[in-house]
Amino acid sequence: MDGAAPEVWSGLGHALALTGRPDEARKIINQLAQHPGYGWVFPYHYAVINAGLGETDPAFAYLDKENREDSYNLIYVKTDPKLDSLRADARFAELLRQLRLDR
């Protein structure tokens, strides 16, 4: 992986998943998890890739972890189009309620 920030890699992973290249998207998940140069990769970045893959349970697990860690990334959750595949799930509405973004 080159020096691109994790959010760039998560966006690429999401795009790869949506364009029928799930193995490459999962490879990015693994590389983010194992790349020592990043130090910390926010759970939100993994959730974005899982959402693209249609893997809702892991995506929500990462979003819940992000919420427990009080990360600023969740300010994007209501409008981020990369999470559109999760919106119909009741857990998404509950997450918005917890974040007080349900209004």
What is the C-alpha separation between 8 and 98, in angstroms, rounded? 27
What is the C-alpha separation between 62 and 45, in angstroms, rounded? 8
Residue at 15 is within a domain: yes
Let me know: does 49 contact 19? Beta carbons within 8 Å: no
Residue at 103 is within a domain: no
What is the C-alpha separation between 24 and 45, in angstroms, rounded? 15
Domain housing 27: 6-98
Average pLDDT over residues 80-88: 97
- pTM for this prediction: 0.91
Residue at 1 is within a domain: no
- Tally of domains in the chain: 1
Q: pLDDT by residue (tens digit) across 41-65? A: 899 999 999 999 999 999 999 999 9
What is the C-alpha separation between 92 and 88, in angstroms, rounded? 7
pLDDT at 102 over 90: no
What is the C-alpha separation between 67 and 99, in angstroms, rounded? 8
